[in-house]
Amino acid sequence: MSLYQGRFDGKVAFVTGGVSGIGAAVTSRLLAEGATVVAVDVAQPAIDRFVTEHPDAGARLDTRVLDVTDPSAVTATIDEVADTYGHLDILVANAGVGAGGAVADVDDASWRFVLGVDLDGVFHVARAALPHLIASKGSIVSTASISGMGGDFGMAAYNAAKGAVINLTRSMAVDYGHQGVRVNAVAPGPVATPALRPILDENPQVRAAYAERIPLGRVGESDEIAGAILFLASDDAGFISGVTLPVDGGLTSWTAQPTLY
């Protein structure tokens, strides 16, 4: 049971990538705290699995297949949601993908795929949701990354997309603050999602490297990122807008220099 049960009573939230990893944790927490949640994902099997794992959600869980790279489908879905429930209060733009490669090694299709989901997807859902969020004085929280705050080896497309999400967050906060909409982002560090956990389990040296570099000595868990997202979406953050909050165990506090003393 959430410590904040009832914090989102009466609120309607739309969560992209909402049935796996960080998105699943966000959806679960929002449900536990009283919200009605429309959780969308591109994969029906992932949706079916999440529904099976949440048999008590009832009518407050609404799941739909949606490709965030399809602007027409995004607009139609969000308009339908707002019409069905009468309002939309929270958008969590969480859908994301990753792909490796330095600039000279990335082909056009891979570049467009990562930018299409990680950046265009945020733009599409925000653009469609904003008229409804203006009406409700709602909020947007996007999932950026510490990889948008600095560079990584061999992750050019992902770095570019997440860096753009961070500045898009600032831009929307400036443009829509006077209309009562708050716009923020979280920047997770390494998180034991279904994408990363197999790598950690199969490569103890990778887990050890993270433990050495992260001041808290471990990678994060999806629910820890969800907690930060829910804070930014809640009235507790009522005077916070345009912020990208690192949730990284202190990783971005470190200069990466070796220990000298």
- Find tokens 């966000």 and name the residue: 26
Write down the catalytic residue from 158, 176, 210, 261.
Answer: 158
Which pairing describes strands 139-143 and 244-247: parallel, antiparallel, or unpaired? unpaired
Query: For the residues 146-161, what does the mean pLDDT come to?
Result: 97
Is position 23 within any domain?
A: yes
Band (pLDDT 50/70/90 cuts) for residue 159 is very high
Q: Which residues does residue 182 pair with via DSSP β-bridges, in sequence order? A: 139
Q: What does the alpha-carbon distance between residue 240 and residue 232 come to, in Å, rounded to a whole number?
A: 7
Is position 167 within any domain?
A: yes
pLDDT surpasses 90 at 181: yes
Is position 6 within any domain?
A: no
Kindly state the tokens that stand for 233. Answer: 């979406």
Query: For the residues 167-194, what does the mean pLDDT come to?
Result: 97
- Find tokens 């990584």 and name the residue: 152
Residue 128, domain extent: 12-189+221-250
Is position 32 within any domain?
A: yes
Band (pLDDT 50/70/90 cuts) for residue 200 is confident
pLDDT surpasses 90 at 258: no
- Find tokens 């279904």 and name the residue: 194
Note the pLDDT tens digit of each residue in 71-101. Answer: 999 999 999 999 999 999 999 999 999 989 9
Residue 210 bears catalytic tag = no
Q: What does the alpha-carbon distance between residue 163 and residue 234 come to, in Å, rounded to a whole number?
A: 24
Position 154, amino acid: G
pTM of the model: 0.95
Is position 47 within any domain?
A: yes
